[in-house]
Amino acid sequence: MTDQVDIPGTPGQVLALIRAHGDVTRAELVDRTGLARATVGARLDALQRAGLIAPAEMT
């Protein structure tokens, strides 16, 4: 039997990943999901427009 990885493709699945792992960068999301950088960006933009996430402040 092989391990099946659920690759998040919807904004909701990306949000669940963010909630599970806390603060993550776009690059980390690309690595964790296997999605293209542009796709991850589009998912994050949709989540931000919906008010579900906000970009972290740089210190």
What's the pLDDT tens digit per position in 12-36? 889 999 999 888 999 999 998 889 9
In angstroms, the CA 41 to CA 47 distance is 10
Question: Does residue 3 register a pLDDT over 50?
Answer: no
In a domain, 57, yes or no: no
In a domain, 6, yes or no: no
Range of the domain at 21: 11-49
What's the pLDDT tens digit per position in 33-48? 889 999 999 999 999 9
Amino acid in the structure at residue 54: A
**How many structural domains are present in the chain?**
1
Band (pLDDT 50/70/90 cuts) for residue 5 is: very low
Query: What is the pLDDT at residue 1?
Result: 40
In angstroms, the CA 28 to CA 23 distance is 10
Task: Confirm if 26 and 41 have CB atoms less than 8 A apart.
Answer: yes
In a domain, 34, yes or no: yes
In a domain, 58, yes or no: no
Query: What is the pLDDT at residue 13?
Result: 87
In a domain, 24, yes or no: yes
